[in-house]
Structure 1
Amino acid sequence: MIIDRAEVIVTSPDRNFVTLKLTTDDGLTGLGDATLNGRELAVVAYLRDHVVPLLLGRDAGRIEDTWQFLYRSAYWRRGPVTMAAVAAVDVALWDIKAKAAGMPLYQLLGGASRTGLLAYGHASGQDLPELFDSVRKHQELGYKAIRIQTGVPGLKSIYGIASNATFEANAGVRYDHEPAQRGPQPAEEDWDTRSYLRHVPTVFEAVRNEFGPALPLLHDVHHRLSPIQAARLGKSLEPYDLFWLEDCTPAENQEALRLVRQHTTTPLAIGEVFNTVWDYQQIVREQLIDYVRSSVTHAGGVTHLKKILDYASQYQIKSGIHGPTDISPVGMAAALHLGLAIHNFGIQEYMMHGERTDQVFRQSFTWSDGFLHPGERPGIGVELDTDEAGKYPYLQAYLPYNRLADGTVHDW
């Protein structure tokens, strides 16, 4: 199986996606997701100009060797652009190998460790009635675990609120929970930490009173707190038994999580912006987190994320693989195969793509009664309709950013 052709396909059905398609000399094809939200074309250039020329003529079956070659031969290592490109190649090669074996990918990773993957959805509201309606809607869709995001009195627009979500310029359509704005400049949002810290515990008290103690609840802080603020929030949320508190403080300063850990028993999920096992070394070794949040798409593919999760398993740390709609169905499918196979699976983030995306990416994974399954089709189970993809050209889009009341740029 020699790689005979490599194509980088950019399409924007509901949002921008970057897909690598590899074809072997015996006609097998494999897909990999290379989408980097808001910086998509950086990965396109990395793949087209630097990686694709290195792939042609290589043995598609040498997955580990190809991973090491792409990672080490560049000299400039790590980072989201490099690791998204490497991930796309890695997943495409796993797709080819599993198709050649006539098996779904999870079988090559050791077989299923469970019958399905518990997934959580994103409920949100500017106020409690809107939030409660969103929770009920997600329960009707089958979700058995739900992330809670809420508006804060006095703030106009903050991360994670669907009714605040940016309207896509493409046909004036708004995609719920999709913050990327198509246009030449990012949207500016506002932030006030003290108001947020006062408000969030009251929201979770209301949600527990309305929906009871059994529903698993999650919350994403999105890197906006200092370590001592994060510690305060985690402690104040303990009575409401969160499944996890996500990205409570920027974790590049890994020692900061020691302070959070000292003050709260609320479980912590970290890492959606992490790209390699080296980003996790200290926080895993010191058991400062409970869930690994990296995605297959941004952490070097199945090969590397499995190594991260195998390392985490030594410390009883579980997976919480990143899975919003900036992960294409290709990246989602790869995550499901990995999650089905590993022993230390925790939960899978799952946002449903729009109809146009589902027409471009034909998927075999299933959603039933709150659980996902990657399906039994050989490979990862996703095929790309190139004619359909060609209907939706790239449109420039940026994620928003935050400013404080005094005009200071803050973490978004």
Structure 2
Amino acid sequence: MRITAADTLVTSPGRNFVTLRITTDEGLTGLGDATLNGRELAVEAYLREHLAPLLPGRDAGAIEDTWQYLYRGAYWRRGPVTMAALAAVDTALWDIKAKAAGMPLYQLLGGASRRGALAYGHASGRDLPELLDSVRAHLADGYRAIRIQSGIPGLDSVYGVANSAAGGGERYDYEPARRAAGGAARPAEEVWDTRAYLRHMPSVFEAVRHEFGPELPLLHDGHHRMTPMQAARLGKDLEPYDLFWLEDATPGEDQSALRLIRSHTTTPLAIGEVFNSVHDYTTLLQERLIDYVRSAVTHTGGVTGMRRLLDLAGVHGVRSGMHGPTDISPVGMAAALHLDLAVHNFGIQEYMRHSPRTLEVFRTSYRFEQGLLHPGESPGLGVELDEEAAARFPYTPAYLPVNRLTDGTVHDW
């Protein structure tokens, strides 16, 4: 079975997605997610100009050879644009292979290791009453693990906190990448105060634990904003509230920072949503400085790249916690769920529901029941693309915010 075409599609049903569709001479098609939030067109151009022309005529079943051909053969390795483009090709080829076998992808990855993947939702509030209402709404929606993000007194906007009350549960419209009227977008600038954040968050978790008890798994995302010593302090301060994990406490570039954090707190640590290769994790895994890997299939070389990372993590007793916000398309989410079901060292899966508009474009077979996600039994990934619906939502420029400290210094967002 040979590849006959590789086409890219950019659509924006509420937010921007980049999708690769590979077609074979037997009429089978496969989809891959290449979305890189705020840099979508860079990946689309890499795919269209550099990878797609290399694919026609290749054996669609030679997934490992194609992965190595595109990774090693390019000379310029790694990086978010390169690895997202490679991920799209790899995922689309796995989709085709599983469709040809008449199986859901997880069966080709070794079969199911569990009934479903525990998912966590995103509860947030500008103040404590709004946050507690959001947690209640998520529990009513069936979530059995909750990420806690709270507004900080004195700050107008904070990462992970929706601009209005959660109301009926999971918000469909939370998207930090901002759009401007007329298509002329620039990053919004937000103000940040780490000391205010460190003072406030322990009281937030104390209140949540008091309201919902000790059994509910609670997670928190620091979003790369702390120094190693600040992160060590927060991890220590949050120990009484038994977090499932503290995520992205410091910027990911300096892996030695995790040594200091680890030496000061027993709060479990997760990192990696901005990583794009197994090589980004080598020190962290070998020295057991983290408990969960946070990469996405979409940004880490696809199913092949992510499976390598998870296998290495498993050797060192580290579990998966794959990135799954709404800027991962349903194609990327489905690929993650097949891995979640198959790998032994699964930990938890991030899950933000896509909007009805997004699910009109990407028709999915995965399901969420009693706090667990399952990829479904459709052959392949279980996602189909409606091109007519996609055409109704053209690309709109959008950028993630920029952070500044109270004195105007640019800081990590």
Q: TM-score range by the shorter chain?
A: over 0.9
Aligned pairs for 1:29-44 (under 5 A) are: 29-44=29-44
Contact 1:157–1:164, Cα closer than 8 Å, also in 2: no
Match of 1:182 among 168, 174, 179: 179
Once the two structures are TM-superposed, the CA of residue 175 in structure 1 deviates from its matched residue by: 4.5
1:383 aligned partner:
384
Cα drift, residue 226 of structure 1: 0.3
Q: Distance in 2 between matches of 1:266 and 1:176?
A: 31
Following the alignment from structure 1 to structure 2, what is the Cα–Cα distance between the partners of residues 395 and 175?
18
1:263 paired residue number:
264
Distance across 2 between alignment mates of 1:396 and 1:138: 31
Equivalent runs, 1:333-372 vs 2, <5 Å: 333-372=334-373
Q: Please give the alpha-carbon distance, in whole angstroms, between the structure 2 residues aligned to 1:409 and 1:163.
A: 23
Tell me the equivalent position of 1:405. 406
Aligned-pair CA distance for 1:178: 1.1
Is 1:74 equivalent to 2:74 in the alignment?
yes
* Shift, 1:164, TM fit: 6.2
Matches within 5 A, 1:278-297: 278-297=279-298
Residues 119-268 of structure 1 aligned to structure 2 (within 5 Å): 119-163=119-163, 175-183=172-180, 184-268=185-269
Instruction: Name the counterpart of 1:48.
Output: 48
* 1: CA distance, partners of 2:214 / 2:193: 29
Contact 2:172 2:353 in 1 (8 A): no
What does the per-residue CA deviation read over 1:142-161, in whole Å, with 9 as the maximum and x for residues that have no partner?
00000000000011111000
The answer on whether the counterparts of 2:252 and 2:274 sit within 8 Å (CA) in structure 1 is: no
The whole-number CA distance in structure 2 between the counterparts of 1:280 and 1:312 is 9
SS at match of 2:209: helix
Separation (CA, whole Å) in 1 of partners of 2:294 and 2:144: 19
Residues 286-307 of structure 1, C-alpha deviations (whole Å, 9 max, x = no match): 0000000000000000001110
The corresponding residue for 1:64 is: 64
Output the CA distance in 1 between the equivalents of 2:274 and 2:351: 17
1:88 aligns with 2:88: yes
**Residues of 2 paired with 1:180 and 1:365: CA distance?**
26
Give the SS at the match of 2:298. Answer: coil
Using structure 1 for the length normalisation, give the TM-score. 0.97
How far apart in 2 are the matches of 1:55 and 1:272? 28
| Percent identity between the two aligned chains | 74
- The structural deviation recorded for 1:251 is 2.1
For residues 162-208 of structure 1, give each alpha carbon's deviation from its aligned partner in whole angstroms, at most 9, with x where no partner exists.
Answer: 1269xxxxxxxx94431111132011111001000000000000000
**Equivalent position of 1:27 in the other structure:** 27
Q: Which whole-Å CA distance do the structure 2 matches of 1:44 and 1:32 have between them? A: 12
Q: Is the 8 A contact 1:163 1:176 kept in 2?
A: no
SS at match of 1:308: helix
Q: What is the TM-score of this pair, normalised by structure 2?
A: 0.97
Q: CA RMSD in A?
A: 0.9
Q: Partners in 2 of 1:72 and 1:335 — Cα distance?
A: 24
CA contact (8 A) 2:286 2:316 kept: yes
- Equivalent position of 2:13 in the other structure: 13
CA contact 2:296–2:323 (8 Å) conserved in 1: yes
User: What is the CA-CA distance between 1:236 and the residue it aligns to?
Assistant: 0.3
Per-residue deviation, 1:378: 0.3
Contact map agreement 1:158 1:164 (CA 8 A) in 2: no
Q: Does 1:306 align with 2:303?
A: no
Query: Using the alignment, how far apart are the partners of 1:25 and 1:345 within structure 2?
Result: 36
What is the distance in 1 between the residues matched to 2:356 and 2:172?
A: 11
- 2:155–2:191 CA contact under 8 A, matched in 1: yes
Q: Aligned pair count?
A: 404
Determine the structure 2 residue equivalent to 1:168: none
SS of 2:163's equivalent?
A: helix
User: Does the 8 Å contact 2:172/2:354 carry over to 1?
Assistant: no
Q: In 2, distance between residues paired with 1:49 and 1:88?
A: 14
**Contact 1:222–1:246 at 8 Å: present in 2 too?**
yes
- Partners of 1:11 and 1:17 within 8 A in 2: yes
Q: Which residue of 1 aligns with 2:395?
A: 394
CA contact (8 A) 1:227 1:256 kept: yes
> What amino acid is the match of 2:50?
H
Structure 2 residue ranges without an equivalent (≥5)? 166-170
Question: Would you say the 8 A contact 1:95–1:379 is kept in 2?
Answer: yes
Match of 1:326 in 2: 327
Amino acid of the structure 2 residue aligned with 1:186: P
Matched AA of 1:177: Y
Contact 1:22 1:30 in 2 (8 A): yes
Q: Distance in 1 between matches of 2:176 and 2:281?
A: 27
The ranges of structure 1 where at least 4 consecutive aligned residues each deviate by more than 2 angstroms after the TM superposition are: 174-177
> Residue type of the partner of 1:126?
R
